[in-house]
């Protein structure tokens, strides 16, 4: 099982869009895949037309037992399951803080999935709290969307510094450009600078395209309604790079 986290300490950068499309592509390629919606806002859950839990506790994600698997829902897509968001996920870091090894809780919770899935995709909220540290401990690859703006690059540098200071294995962090507009000179220049100065920036840039926004209207991965568009091709290219990284 390989765990891929879509993570950024910045909000609204394209984590959920990438998580949904990459999870779809993993499953379409034959890997048994689970998308875990760790964000209490439930955006990836929304894209799959699944109701987020409101009353249940996030027991599975805290205790790490079979209850996690009981919460998993099938999606309309073969080979792709979803662990829906739960409103209690907003408290996950508080729950983890009460445990003995607070940063190892998510990894422990995901253990029962080992035998069930080839790929687990984590759609993370934009926070750098204890839940994020649990993500850093459990993900094999951290994929960070980067909008080509100075502040986005600054946030990424801060993330890399944080990971280095706290001894999380930094080499597993890969960044890709998201919402890139190559007609903008600033975007082009920043992308060149970032590739020269940041480690592990993937070749694929996801352009700013309306088809991605329309995922919210169709409530589906892009391949369900716009499979032959540049946006769909961009996520395919990104998945090819990620697949090579995880040797799937
Ligand atoms: N490449 C893109 N082109 C155009 N719109 C995009 C693109 N990627 C994402 N969006 C839109 O931008 C908004 C934010 O994207 P998304 O929800 O994927 O970001 P996020 O990083 O998961 O946000 P959050 O931090 O709130 O979880 C959404 O409305 C989405 O449709
Ligand atoms: Mg999101």
Question: pLDDT by residue (tens digit) across 122-131?
Answer: 999 999 999 9
Burial of 111 (0-12, 13-18, 19+ CB in 10 A): middle
**pLDDT value at residue 170:** 64
* CB of 14 closer than 6 angstroms to any ligand 1 atom: yes
Domain ranges of the chain: 2-243
The pLDDT value recorded for residue 92 is: 87
What separation in Å is there between the alpha carbon of 215 and the centre of ligand 1?
Answer: 10
- Asked if the model's pLDDT at residue 64 lies above 90, the reply is no
User: What is residue 220's DSSP assignment?
Assistant: S
- Residue 27 beta carbon below 6 angstroms from any ligand 1 atom: no
pLDDT above 70: residue 56: no
Least confident of 28-42, 48-62, 136-150, 212-226: 48-62
Q: How far is CA 37 from the centre of its chain?
A: 9
Residues 69 and 107: their CA atoms lie apart, in Å, by 14
The model's pTM is 0.96
- Percentage of the chain lying above the pLDDT 90 cut: 79
Contact present, 105 and 134 (Cβ < 8 Å): yes
Find the radius of gyration of the CA atoms of the chain: 17
Q: Are 60 and 95 in contact (CB under 8 A)?
A: no
**What average pLDDT does the chain have?**
92
Mean per-residue pLDDT, 100-127: 94
Q: Give Cβ neighbours of residue 176 (< 8 Å, ≥ 6 apart).
A: 18, 143, 144, 145, 146, 201, 202, 204, 205, 206, 238, 241
Residues 136-183 pLDDT 10s: 999 999 999 999 999 999 999 999 999 999 888 766 999 999 999 999
Residue 37: CB partners within 8 Å, gap ≥ 6? 43, 44, 45, 52, 82, 83, 84, 85, 89, 123
Predicted local distance difference test score (pLDDT) of residue 238:
98
The pLDDT value recorded for residue 69 is 82
Nearest to 72 by CA among 41, 106, 104, 37: 37
**213 CB near ligand 1 (under 6 Å):** yes
For ligand 1, atom 13, name the residue with the nearest CA: 12
Q: Is residue 58 predicted with pLDDT exceeding 80?
A: no
pLDDT in tens, 189-245: 999 999 999 999 999 999 999 999 999 999 999 999 999 999 999 999 999 999 999
Given a contact cutoff of 8 angstroms between Cβ atoms, the answer to whether 47 and 219 are in contact is yes
**Mutate which of 6, 11, 12 to test ligand 1's pocket (most atoms within 8 Å of Cβ)?**
12
What backbone phi and psi angles, to 5 degrees, belong to 177?
-75, 140
State yes or no: pLDDT of 90 exceeds 90.
no
Measure CA of the first residue to CA of the last residue in the chain; give whole Å: 10
In the sheet with 80-83, reading across from the earlier edge strand, the strands are: 73-74, 80-83, 33-37, 119-123, 2-6, 141-146, 173-180, 201-207
Q: Which atom of ligand 1 is nearest to the CA of 18?
A: 18
Amino acid 179: pLDDT: 98
> 3.40.50.720, 3.40.50.300, 3.30.565.10, 3.40.640.10: which CATH number matches 2-243?
3.40.50.300
Q: What is the position in ligand 1's atom list of the atom closest to the CA of 124? A: 27
Helix (H) or strand (E) holding 35: strand 33-37
Kindly state the percentage of the chain with pLDDT values over 70: 94
């Amino acid at each position: 099982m390989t765990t891929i986290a879509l993570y950024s300490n910045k909000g609204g950068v394209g984590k959920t869009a990438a998580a949904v499309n990459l999870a779809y592509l993993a499953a379409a390629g034959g890997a048994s895949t689970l998308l875990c919606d760790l964000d209490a806002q439930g955006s990836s859950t929304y894209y799959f037309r699944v109701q987020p839990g409101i009353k249940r506790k996030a027991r599975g994600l805290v205790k790490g037992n079979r209850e996690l698997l009981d919460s998993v829902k099938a999606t309309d897509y073969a080979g792709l399951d979803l662990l829906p968001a739960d409103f209690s996920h907003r408290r996950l870091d508080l729950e983890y803080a009460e445990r003995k090894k607070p940063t190892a809780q998510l990894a422990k919770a995901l253990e029962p999935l080992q035998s069930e899935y080839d790929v687990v995709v984590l759609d993370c909220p934009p926070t750098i709290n204890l839940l994020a540290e649990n993500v850093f401990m459990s993900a094999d690859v951290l994929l960070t969307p980067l909008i080509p703006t100075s502040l986005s690059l600054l946030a990424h540098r801060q993330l890399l510094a944080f990971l280095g200071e706290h001894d999380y294995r930094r080499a597993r962090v890969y960044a890709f450009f998201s919402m890139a507009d190559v007609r903008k000179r600033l975007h082009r220049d920043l992308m060149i600078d970032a590739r020269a100065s940041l480690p592990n920036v993937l070749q694929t840039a996801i352009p700013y395209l309306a088809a991605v926004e329309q995922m919210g209207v169709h409530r589906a991965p892009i391949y369900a309604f716009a499979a032959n568009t540049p946006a769909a091709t961009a996520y395919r290219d990104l998945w090819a790079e990620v697949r090579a990284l995880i040797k799937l």
